[in-house]
Amino acid sequence: MPPKPRKPRTFTHAHRQRLERAAEHYLDKCYRTSSAVRTSEFAMDLGLNPSYLSWMAMRTLGKPLRDYLREKQLLYAAWLLQTLPPEITIGEIATRSGFGTTRTLYRCFQAAYGTSPGAFRELKN
């Protein structure tokens, strides 16, 4: 007897909430340790294959995992730019928000907000 075809996996709202919560915990860890955010490291923390986690995130969140994490990082970086004193450098904010390098923060921030982190800081203060 041939095996039954598998039904495609469907993800519920509860799955989405669990993934979002896990992402928040992972990002908090990266922010506390000032380490760069990596989807492969996130998958390892969850004990999942990176390809499976990326597939699951796309089905659950409706966007690539990398994009989801990057959006959260950018929101955090923007908040830091608005709340920390100007003596804290953009490089320090890049590190604190898990971008790893100042260059990466600049590139991503410019693409998302249409301005540099320094100019954003000036506008908001």
Digit-coded pLDDT (tens) for 13-66:
999 999 999 999 999 999 999 999 999 999 999 999 999 999 999 999 999 999
Q: Output the pLDDT for position 10.
A: 79
Q: Residue 6 pLDDT > 70, yes or no?
A: no
Supply the DSSP symbol for 96. Answer: H
Q: Output the pLDDT for position 106.
A: 97
Percent of the chain with pLDDT over 70: 96
Domain ranges for the chain: 13-124
Contacts made by residues 21-24, CB under 8 angstroms, sequence distance 24+: 22/46, 23/68, 23/69, 23/72, 24/72
Q: Residue 91 pLDDT > 90, yes or no?
A: yes
CATH number of 13-124, picked from 3.40.640.10, 1.10.3720.10, 2.60.40.1180, 1.10.10.60: 1.10.10.60
Q: Output the pLDDT for position 11.
A: 83
Cβ atoms within 10 A of the Cβ of 45, count? 13
Contact 116, 110 (CB under 8 A): yes
Q: Residue 69 pLDDT > 70, yes or no?
A: yes
Q: Output the pLDDT for position 7.
A: 62
Q: Output the pLDDT for position 8.
A: 59
Categorize the per-residue pLDDT at 125 as very low, low, confident or very high, splitting at 50, 70 and 90. low
| Token pair for 97 | 């928000």
Report the alpha-carbon distance of residue 118 to residue 107 in Å, rounded: 12
